[in-house]
Amino acid sequence: MGMISLVTFLPVFGALIVLLIPKQNEKAIKWFSAIITFIPLIIASYMWSQFNYTLSGINHEAQFQFVEHMSWIPAFHIEYFVGLDGLSFPMFWLTTLLSFLAIVASFGINKSVKGYFALFLLLETGMLGVFVALDFFLFYVFWEVMLLPMYFLIGIWGGPRREYAAIKFFLYTLLGSVLMLVVMLALYFNVQDPATHGHTFNMLHMMDQSNHKDILRSVDVRYWLYILLFIGFAIKVPVFPFHTWLPDAHVEAPTAISVILAGILLKMGTYGLLRISYPIFPDIAVKTAYALAILGVINILYGAFVAMAQKDLKKLVAYSSVSHMGFVLLGMAAFTDAGIHGALFQMFSHGMITAMLFLIVGVIYDRAHHRQIEGFGGLAVSMPVYAGVASLAFFAALGLPGMTGFIAEASVFIGSFPVYRTLTIMAALGIVITASYVLWTVQRVFLGKLNPKYADLPDINRRELFTLVPLGIMVILFGVYPMPILHLMRSSLIHLISLMH
Amino acid sequence: MDNLSSLSYFVPELFLSAAILLIIILDLLLKKEQKIWTGILSAAALLISVFLIFKQYQLPVHDIFNGMLVVDSMAVLVKLIAAVSSIIIILFSLPYVEEKTEYYVLILITTLGMFLMASVNDILMIILSMELVGLMSYVLTGFTKRNVKSDEASLKYILYAAASTAVMAFGFSYIYGMTGETNLIKIQQALMTNPPNQAAFFIAVVLVLAGLGYKIAMVPFHFWLPDVYEGAPTPITAFLSVGPKAAGLAVMIRFLITVTAHPTSGMATAFAQNLQVHLPMLIAVLAVITMTFGNTVALRQTNIKRLMAYSSIAHAGYMIMAMVVFNAEGFTAILFYLIIYMFMNFGAFWVIITMTKRLNSDEISAFRGLGYRSPYAAVALAIFLFSLTGLPPLAGFIGKFYLFAAVIKAEWYVLAILGVLNSVVSLYYYANIVRTMFLESAPVQEAVPFNLYDKVLLTVLLVPVLLFGVYWSPVLRLTEISFNVFH
């Protein structure tokens, strides 16, 4: 078994062990889950140290790293084919990190502990699988495997409207994925495996346009398939008209699950576009790029405006995610080196920043039992350490230079400005709105007169700091010196862009 | 093949007939407390017949009894499904039906009827075998004699069945009139040499489809089904949802590939009669209506048995959908789906049978908080329901995957999209049961008993659903060798 399989399946193996631990022994369950998610982080970090920066990946198997390729269901040409490249590795590593931190952040869970941690571990396997799969069928299975644990995690451990939020999330994402299923099958039957001349689920074969049969050369068919696939991914991102599940799911989900939702799940949508839609239908991707850029700008502006109007702190963070994912779309749509680097870097950076924000909201909610922005004030007096960490995260969110958000957004603008001048200027307006709602929030929550009700709230504790500090350090570290991450991505992204032209 | 030499091709059926007679005689000899043994013996007899059926895979494809029946691998597979599903139903019933030998005998006779349905090759045999299955089903539906709902269901069932069979027989009479033959293969040849009147032939096909459609609960011939499912004893509901449906689909496949089409090279089929009404399109429309109707009406159900009734209509719709392609891929996908469907549907029903008995209610609301009162049963039911929805990595996904693959390969893209959207709709009502069990808190905390027998049987049904979701090559091979149809 290779390292990828080890990392991917270790959590689900841990889930089985968790089910065997007696349910009274909650401490053992929690610590075991923490260890079983820490090991993948260690292995993934080791893989980083072994990562070959010159290999590009994307559409050649030889260019992928840590590849495992074997037959699964030969009669239907389904393979177990996994591998990593510069596009997937940052997300793969981030997933192991955030899963570990989210497990630690979940130590406060006290309802059906066993079920929670078992489902969480199953979820981690699904997420990792999505980022490593190179066989479309395998990708689809992992993509769907995430849904079930997510439904229960929101539905059982969530807030007051959890049932509604959980089923809404489930229905929306299933709607997207069944459309993907149709596209997957259409590709399967109309792409020829160059070696065997049979059908294939191998994504890399699908990317080679010379393997496409005649029906796939028709522009109309390609448009339809691209659009169906796009809807599938857009729901996950979420792109503007499909975003309504997001505020519900994020607000109702328990803290750690919001972290995973915003930190990892949203990125799967844009990852899917880059991994599957772009290389398989490069011509259509280029033709529809302008529409994608417009959607990106709508996301940026709409998300930011709606965030400004929120009274609930968690909802505000949720809508800020919609806004920040817009930058990813805009960067992707430009098809320039800087733009696509910015997009992927934004995915990575937003994964950390939004995780911090949700953790911060969780901290205050655990203490005050509400999240109304208006209800607070002057918390910097009673909780100084907390206020410090929180301000760091909020400033990172508004894209302050010296932190990762700035690098990502600047890179997106540099990449998209030459292509979409007006749209980029409008998007830049989004930065101003972001700054205003972030600063306004910081002011209302942490500054001003201290609300006497919250005068003796305990400051942030060590466990909470343990989850926030590593992210905070990385946000600053990679904000000042982003090269380690950019190096990871470079050869893959440059190759991807060259495929598109 | 003449009657006498046909007997060696008829071993499972002969064995089952002998077993039925033996059990009836045995019933006279046993005391009341001992009658449970007749149930156990029935299951054992079916188990032996499963082995006998398996051996038939080695037989050459042949027609028997002067062309009345055929022995081919599709017949063998459908007989296997029928026999295994009857065994499971007997195991379901053992804890609840202890003194009624006739119950088990009726199930055995139904199984015999399904064996015949699986191998029909003559329109007379179609009517005869369907009536044999039907008659036993009416009695089984009304088996709880003093239950008004059960009686009503039984009566409704008879009335609908009688009308449908009459319509179908009328259709067959047209076909006989046009060709002068009752044997399906000979009808096919006669139709090819002497093209029939278009209108008459179309009417005949539609009338026959009505009769077959009633058996598999295709909309708009489904009206009997919800009441029968609700009124029948729950194990019989489970029985009706799989065995007779599989047999009905087999008859429909046979009818479609002989009377309306003929095999050309390989198994690709061409249409014998270029009907002005495109037959696959007609079936596609019926399939979409069936699944959409089943799924949308299921959304509003509060009674779990009625919900499963509409869900079974929807599943029939998915299977009919794969018929439009008229090739081996479509039909093997249906057979594959039937195997998977048997496990997941029975699994769901087993939990429903045990729980509705112990909670004393068929209402979904009675399942509130079941996840905390009987965790194993509730988790298993959730898995079965998500499998019915078609979520990976469960077997139901693989089953649907092949149905959709067949449809998409034949480039029926719109049909496929309507099909997958239906899956999304179905998620809502399946997840609603899961929601009731896990997301709502229980009115009382005490555990619902779930004894060892229940658990073992549940596990036997659960393992295939989990296993075939990740490794299904053996099932696939079984269905692939099972579409070697007599022609």
Residue A469 lies in a domain: yes
**Chain B residues touching residue A185 (CB < 8 angstroms):** 401, 404-405, 408-409, 416
CA distance A406 to chain B (A): 39
Rounded CA separation B433/B302 (Å): 10
Whether the pLDDT of residue B270 is over 80: the answer is no
**Is A181 touching B (CB cutoff 8 A)?**
yes
Residue A354 lies in a domain: yes
Residue B336 identity: F
Confidence bin at A109 (pLDDT 50/70/90): confident
What is the span of the domain harbouring residue A413? 290-501
**Chain A residues touching residue B421 (CB < 8 angstroms):** 175, 178
- For residue A171, what is the nearest residue in chain B, using CA coordinates? B424
pLDDT tens digits, B180-211: 989 998 988 888 888 888 888 889 999 999 99
Are B435 and A162 inside 8 Å of each other by CB?
Answer: no
Q: Are residues A338 and A389 in contact, defined by beta-carbon separation less than 8 angstroms?
A: no
Q: Give CA torsion, residues A378, A382, A384, A385, to 10 deg.
A: -130
Are B416 and A182 inside 8 Å of each other by CB?
Answer: yes
Rounded CA separation B168/A495 (Å): 64
Are A145 and B416 inside 8 Å of each other by CB?
Answer: no
CA distance A129 to chain B (A): 13
Q: Which of A249-263, B270-284, B355-369, B408-422 is predicted with the least confidence, judged by mean pLDDT?
A: B270-284
* DSSP sequence for B410-430: TT-HHHHHHHHHHHHHHHHHH
Q: According to the model, what pLDDT value does residue B60 have?
A: 86
| Three-class HEC string of B85-97 | HHHHHHHHHCCCC
**Is A168 touching B (CB cutoff 8 A)?**
no
Task: Estimate to the nearest angstrom the gap between the alpha carbon of A416 and the chain centroid.
Answer: 22
Residue A267 lies in a domain: no
- For residue B429, what is the nearest residue in chain A, using CA coordinates? A167
Rounded to two decimals, the ipTM of the complex is 0.91
Residue A387 lies in a domain: yes
CA distance A359 to chain B (A): 24
**Is A189 touching B (CB cutoff 8 A)?**
yes
pLDDT tens digits, A209-229: 888 888 888 889 999 999 999
**Chain A residues touching residue B472 (CB < 8 angstroms):** 73
**Chain B residues touching residue A179 (CB < 8 angstroms):** 417, 420
* Element of type H or E holding A335: none
Whether the pLDDT of residue B444 is over 90: the answer is no
- For residue A191, what is the nearest residue in chain B, using CA coordinates? B409
| More confident call, B202 vs B337 | B337
Name the token pair of A34. 């923490």
Closest CA to A98 of A28, A31, A41, A30: A41
Cβ count near A138 (within 10 Å): 22
- Angle, helix B234-255 to helix B101-118, in steps of 10 degrees: 20
Are A167 and B435 inside 8 Å of each other by CB?
Answer: yes
CA distance B336 to chain A (A): 14
Closest CA to B432 of B345, B343, B311: B311
Nearest residue, CB atoms, A144 vs list B392, B411, B428:
B392
- Angle, helix A462-480 to helix A384-397, in steps of 10 degrees: 40
DSSP state of B278: -
**Is A19 touching B (CB cutoff 8 A)?**
no
pLDDT tens digits, A326-372: 999 999 999 999 999 999 999 999 999 999 999 999 988 888 888 88
Q: According to the model, what pLDDT value does residue B147 have?
A: 85
CA distance B319 to chain A (A): 17
Are A185 and B404 inside 8 Å of each other by CB?
Answer: yes
Nearest residue, CB atoms, B392 vs list A73, A141, A182:
A141
Distance in angstroms between the alpha carbons of the first and the last residue of chain B: 15
Rounded CA separation A191/A206 (Å): 6
Q: Which of A23, A116, A139, A148 to mutate to test the interface with B (most CBs of B within 10 A)?
A: A148
Residues A120-132: what's their mean pLDDT?
Answer: 94
Rounded CA separation A422/A418 (Å): 10
Name the token pair of A89. 């590795």
Whether the pLDDT of residue B314 is over 80: the answer is yes
Residues 6+ apart with CB under 8 A from B429: B295, B298, B299, B301, B307, B311
Q: According to the model, what pLDDT value does residue A232 have?
A: 92
Confidence bin at B273 (pLDDT 50/70/90): low
pLDDT tens digits, B137-176: 999 998 888 888 888 899 999 999 999 999 999 999 999 9
Q: Where are the domains of chain B?
A: 279-487
Whether the pLDDT of residue B230 is over 60: the answer is yes
* DSSP sequence for B209-277: HHHHHHHHT-TTS-THHHHHHHHS-HHHHHHHHHHHHHHHHHHHHHHIIIIIEEE-STT-EEESS--SS
Half-sphere exposure of B244 (CA within 13 A, CB side): 30
Are B397 and A163 inside 8 Å of each other by CB?
Answer: no
**Chain B residues touching residue A166 (CB < 8 angstroms):** 435, 439
Q: According to the model, what pLDDT value does residue B143 have?
A: 87
Q: Taking CB atoms and an 8 Å cut-off, how many pairs form between chains A and B?
A: 81
For chain A, the domain total comes to: 1
Residues A177-198: what's their mean pLDDT?
Answer: 90
- Angle, helix A404-416 to helix A337-368, in steps of 10 degrees: 140
CA distance A118 to chain B (A): 13
Q: According to the model, what pLDDT value does residue B189 have?
A: 85
Encode burial over B386-424: b for 16+ CB neighbours within 10 A, e otherwise. bbbbbbbbbbbbbbbbbbbbbbbbbebbebbbbbbbbbb
- Angle, helix B11-29 to helix B36-55, in steps of 10 degrees: 170
Task: Estimate to the nearest angstrom the gap between the alpha carbon of A501 and the chain centroid.
Answer: 27
- Identify the three-state secondary structure at position A80: strand
Percent of chain B clearing pLDDT 70 (strictly above): 97
Residues of B with CB under 8 A from a CB of A: 386, 391-393, 397, 401, 404-405, 408-409, 411, 413, 416-417, 420-421, 423-424, 427-428, 431-432, 435, 438-439, 471-473, 476-477, 480
Nearest residue, CB atoms, A144 vs list B391, B417, B424:
B391
pLDDT tens digits, A42-61: 999 999 999 888 888 888 88
Nearest residue, CB atoms, A186 vs list B391, B392, B408:
B408
* Mean of pLDDT over chain A: 90
Q: Which of B299, B424, B432, B436 to mutate to test the interface with A (most CBs of A within 10 A)?
A: B424
CA distance B399 to chain A (A): 13
B38 φψ region: left (φ > 0), alpha (ψ -120 to 50), beta (else): alpha
**Chain A residues touching residue B471 (CB < 8 angstroms):** 72-73
**Is A171 touching B (CB cutoff 8 A)?**
yes
Task: Estimate to the nearest angstrom the gap between the alpha carbon of B331 and the chain centroid.
Answer: 14
Confidence bin at A150 (pLDDT 50/70/90): very high
* DSSP sequence for B52-119: HHHHGGGSPPEEETTTTEEE-HHHHHHHHHHHHHHHHHHHHHTTT--S-HHHHHHHHHHHHHHHHHHT
Whether the pLDDT of residue B276 is over 70: the answer is no
Residues B411-416: what's their mean pLDDT?
Answer: 90
**Chain A residues touching residue B391 (CB < 8 angstroms):** 144, 147-148, 174
The count of residues in chain B is: 487
CA distance B413 to chain A (A): 8
Name the token pair of A290. 């302008």
Residue A401 lies in a domain: yes
Are A189 and B386 inside 8 Å of each other by CB?
Answer: no
Task: Estimate to the nearest angstrom the gap between the alpha carbon of B211 and the chain centroid.
Answer: 15
Residues A80-86: what's their mean pLDDT?
Answer: 92
Q: According to the model, what pLDDT value does residue B317 have?
A: 94
Closest CA to A498 of A278, A222, A227, A342: A278
CB-neighbour burial class of residue B144 (10 A; exposed 0-12, middle 13-18, buried 19+): middle
Q: Are residues A52 and A64 in contact, defined by beta-carbon separation less than 8 angstroms?
A: no
* Element of type H or E holding A192: none
Are A182 and B413 inside 8 Å of each other by CB?
Answer: yes
Q: Are residues A343 and A313 in contact, defined by beta-carbon separation less than 8 angstroms?
A: no
Are A182 and B397 inside 8 Å of each other by CB?
Answer: no
CA distance B430 to chain A (A): 11
Are A171 and B428 inside 8 Å of each other by CB?
Answer: yes
Residue B467 identity: L
Q: A71: which strand partners? A: A79
* DSSP sequence for A203-255: HHHHH-GGGB-GGGGSHHHHHHHHHHHHHHHHHHTT-GGGTTHHHHHHHHS-H
